[in-house]
Every structure is written in C-alpha cells, then in structure tokens.
C-alpha cells in the first residue's frame, strides 16, 4: 500500500508497528497488521494479518483471520480462519471456512440455522400452544352443548 | 469584478506565464484589480483591502503554496460573512506540478483563464491546522530517522513510529516507517518465505477521520508544500463545504 493512495475499498490500515486502543470503525475495508485493543467494525471486510492481535469483538460482512483474535467474531456473510489464525471467542457467521492448522476455541453459531437448544425451546412452545387450543375446544364444546354426556 | 493576486516571483518563466494570464484575462473581459504582495503589503493586508472594497472573488496566480496562503488568509479574515462565502479562483504557474490544478482540472493557461470566465463553482471541504492554517493540498512530515507517533482520533488512540506522514485536506492520515522491513536481509527472507507483500508495506498505516491530534516525539516540523507551517503537536480538523472554488467547466472536481 502506498502512502496517500486513494484506492477505493482500502479504508483503514493498522500497520504492524502500531498499537491501537479504542473503537476502530470504517464503512470500507479494515486491514490489521498491528495490535488493537477494542472493537473493530466494518461494513465490508476485515483482514486480520498474521502479525495482528485483536483483543475485542470484530464485526464485518467478511472476515479473514490469519492472526490472533481474543474476542467474539460476527461475520454477516463469511468467516475464514487461515492456518496461522487463532480465535479465542464465540463466532457467528453464515459461511465458515476453517483451514487446516487454524485454532478455534469458542462457541460457534451459524446464522440461518437453528441450534438444538432453540429447536427444543420452539418445540416446547408449540406443544404448549396445541395443549391450550385443545383445552379451549373442550371447554367450548362443554359450554355450548346442552346434552349431557353419558 | 475579480481581485487578482499575482505571486511575487523572480523566475522568468513564471513572470511570462503571469503576463500571458493578464493578456488572456483582458481578452476575455474579466479584468479586475491586480495586486502583488511585497514587503510593504502582505497577502493578509491585500485580502483585507479586497474585502473592504467589496470584492467577493479572489484569484491567485502562482504556486500551490501561494494558493494555500491566499485561501488561509481569506477564510481567516474576520470581514468574511458566513452567509456569503468568498470565491477562490486559481491559475497555476506550473501546471505539471500543481495539485490544485488537478483539483480544478486545468491543464494550461488558456483553460485556466477561461474557467474564470465561465465561473463554474464547486463548494469543497478543506483541512484546518488549528488555529488558522487552512490547507487544500496535503500536509507532510518527513524525517530521515524514525520518530514516535501518538495519534488521537475521536474514538481511538494509536501509538507507533514513522519516518513520513501525510495528511490530506479531507483528513486522511497515512504514515509509514521506512526504516522497518527494508534491510537487505529482510528482503531476502521475504523471497524465501514467498510472501507477496513487502515488509515495508506492513509498516504503513492509514486512517480517515474528521479531526485528529498528532503528537510526535521529538517535536517535528509540519510542511505544506515546501514550507513549514507548524510543529507537532498539532490539531487538525476537516471543515466541510467551506470554500467555493472555480473549476473548469464540465468537469468533476476531485476533493
């Protein structure tokens, strides 16, 4: 990357010799080669290079990790963890690619697919709704009918 | 009527261009008052005279640094009314090197003068080195030896090292440490590892913001073109839609 280049999509770059504290937010791509203590948010892509270390949540449309992340990762479209990538934290994404050698230590949630816990909760809720309906039907029959059941 | 401010230049080439500009301006029927700063009358004083006389369009003929001085003086002058923003026009005397020439898309003296005649205006944002140095071309900081950089933005702070820094008028700051990753051994390592990116690119950083404070250790001069305008620490912010500038007709100005 040349200094002062106005190429679209490059957005923010954190060099390998830079340590950053705070919230790093950009509508364009963010490339991290250095250390970030705080949140990283992009509307497009976040590239975490092999020299990078991020302590904090990362949110973007597409995230590529070849460095280290201690915090949650939320990728709206795709998350790719490259062989040198290390993630300690929960991940949420639609498409997940973990290459051989990558390390992931945390909970994974795939967007658009219900987890087992959520499915069980929904099944219980549906069962309760059906039970209520049945009881209401029985009540209505008993109320409306003048015929005594033998 | 236009208030023309000619740069006091001793170079023959630039004097010829200025004379040519006067001739074309007269032919186009847009003559006005011509002034040249000198030890007796500074740019600030000339601007003050122009505003007092009721001029609202100020045209600089000279180098980019000269244009920056006129703009800075114009916008800092207290006689400026917030509602009626002054208009700035520019005729570069070096079309190849002029960055402002590229912004207003003028490539030669003829179309530069004609653009003044057609008066197509564009309101642009520019940078302000607090308290009163406006700039329309980038600020630069250069050093042979690396210095520490402490960059304070609205939501974050960054600490690193650099040998060169560039800050554009829309407050896009980029800095790099060219001493890192450029040794012969590291380049060889690069080849053996098969890495596409050079080490020096890894040590480049870039941020875009509305305002920043830059602290360097040791304190280092900040340049606008080839002139020192301040020393770090320095506070800079973007002033949106603050200057009306005459651009070449039928073009889109690059802000």
Residue B221: beta bridge partners?
B231
- Distance to chain B for A130, nearest Cα, Å: 52
Q: What is the 3-state secondary structure (H, E, C) of B117-168?
A: HHCEEEEEEEEEECCCEEECCCEEEEEEEEEEEEEECCCEEEEEEEEEEEEC
| Whole-angstrom distance, CA of residue B175 vs CA of residue B164 | 6
| Whole-angstrom distance, CA of residue B24 vs CA of residue A128 | 88
**pLDDT tens per residue, range B63-100:** 999 999 999 999 888 666 555 678 999 999 998 889 99
User: Would you state the pLDDT for residue B161?
Assistant: 93
| Whole-angstrom distance, CA of residue B220 vs CA of residue A32 | 27
Residues 207-236 of B with CB under 8 A from A: 207-208
**pLDDT tens per residue, range B150-177:** 999 999 999 999 999 999 998 999 999 8
B205 touches chain A (CB under 8 A): yes
| Whole-angstrom distance, CA of residue B39 vs CA of residue A116 | 82
Q: Using alpha carbons, select from A140, A150, A61, A58 the residue that is nearest to residue A106.
A: A58
Residue A124: beta bridge partners?
none
Q: Which two tokens stand for residue B183?
A: 């040794």
**pLDDT tens per residue, range A84-128:** 999 999 999 999 999 999 999 999 999 866 556 555 665 666 667
Whole-complex ipTM: 0.81
B135 touches chain A (CB under 8 A): no
Angle at A53 between CA A50 and CA A59, to 5 degrees: 100
User: Would you state the pLDDT for residue A62?
Assistant: 97
Q: Which secondary structure element, helix H or strand E, spans residue B74, and what is its range? A: helix B64-76
Residues 49-68 of A with CB under 8 A from B: 49, 51
Cis upstream peptide for B131 (omega within 30°):
yes
Residue position matching structure tokens 């740019």 = B43
In whole numbers, what is the pLDDT of chain B averaged over residues? 87
Enumerate the residues of chain A whose CB falls inside 8 A of the CB of residue B158. Answer: 14, 18-21
Nearest chain A residue to B179 by CA: give it: A17
| Whole-angstrom distance, CA of residue A124 vs CA of residue B166 | 61
User: Would you state the pLDDT for residue A61?
Assistant: 96
Nearest chain B residue to A14 by CA: give it: B205
Q: Which residues of B115-154 are buried (b: 16+ CB within 10 A; e: fewer)?
A: bbeeeeeeebebbbbeeebbbbbbbbbebeebbebebbbe
User: Average pLDDT of B140-151?
Assistant: 93
A79, pLDDT greater than 90: yes
| Whole-angstrom distance, CA of residue A35 vs CA of residue A16 | 7
Region of A106 (left: φ > 0; alpha: ψ -120 to 50; beta: rest) is left
B195, pLDDT greater than 60: no
| Whole-angstrom distance, CA of residue B128 vs CA of residue A128 | 65
Residue position matching structure tokens 């004097």 = B15
Enumerate the residues of chain A whose CB falls inside 8 A of the CB of residue B204. Answer: 1-3, 13, 15
Count the alpha carbons within 13 Å of B67 in the hemisphere toward its beta carbon: 29
- Which of A3, A13, A22 has its CB closest to that of B164? A3
pTM of this prediction?
A: 0.80
- Which of A12, A18, A24 has its CB closest to that of B159? A18
């Amino acid at each position: 990357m040349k200094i002062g280049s106005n190429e679209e999509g490059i957005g923010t770059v954190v060099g390998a010799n830079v340590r950053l504290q705070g919230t790093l937010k950009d509508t364009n791509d963010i490339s991290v080669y250095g250390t970030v203590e705080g949140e990283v948010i992009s509307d497009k892509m976040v590239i975490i290079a092999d020299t990078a270390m991020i302590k904090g949540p990362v949110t973007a449309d597409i995230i590529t990790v070849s460095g280290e992340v201690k915090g949650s990762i939320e990728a709206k479209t795709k998350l790719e963890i490259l062989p040198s990538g290390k993630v300690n934290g929960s991940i949420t994404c639609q498409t997940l690619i973990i290459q051989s050698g990558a390390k992931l230590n945390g909970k994974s949630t795939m967007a658009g697919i219900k987890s087992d816990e959520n499915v069980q909760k929904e099944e219980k809720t549906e069962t309760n709704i059906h039970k209520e309906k049945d009881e209401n039907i029985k009540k209505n029959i008993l109320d409306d009918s003048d015929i005594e059941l033998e | 009527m236009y208030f023309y401010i000619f740069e006091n230049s001793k170079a023959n080439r630039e004097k010829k261009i200025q004379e040519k500009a006067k001739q074309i301006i007269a032919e186009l029927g847009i003559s006005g008052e011509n002034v040249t700063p000198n030890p007796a009358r500074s740019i600030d004083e000339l601007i003050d005279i122009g505003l007092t006389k009721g001029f609202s369009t100020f045209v600089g003929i000279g180098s980019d640094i000269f244009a920056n001085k006129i703009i800075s003086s114009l916008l800092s002058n207290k006689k400026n009314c917030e509602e009626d923003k002054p208009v700035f026009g520019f005729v570069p005397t070096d079309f190849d090197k002029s960055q402002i020439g590229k912004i207003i898309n003028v490539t030669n003296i003829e179309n530069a003068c004609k653009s003044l005649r057609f008066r197509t205006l564009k309101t642009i944002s520019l940078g302000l080195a607090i308290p009163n140095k406006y700039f329309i071309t980038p600020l630069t900081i250069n050093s042979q030896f690396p210095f520490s950089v402490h960059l304070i933005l609205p939501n974050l702070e960054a600490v690193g090292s650099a040998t060169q820094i560039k800050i554009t008028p829309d407050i896009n700051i980029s800095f790099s440490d060219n001493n890192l990753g450029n040794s012969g051994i590291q380049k060889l390592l690069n080849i053996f590892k098969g890495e596409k990116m050079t080490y020096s690119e890894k040590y480049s950083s870039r941020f875009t913001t509305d305002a920043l404070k830059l602290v360097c250790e040791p304190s280092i001069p900040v340049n606008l073109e080839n002139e020192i305008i301040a020393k770090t620490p320095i506070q800079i912010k973007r002033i949106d839609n603050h200057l009306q500038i005459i651009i070449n007709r039928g073009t889109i100005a690059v802000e």
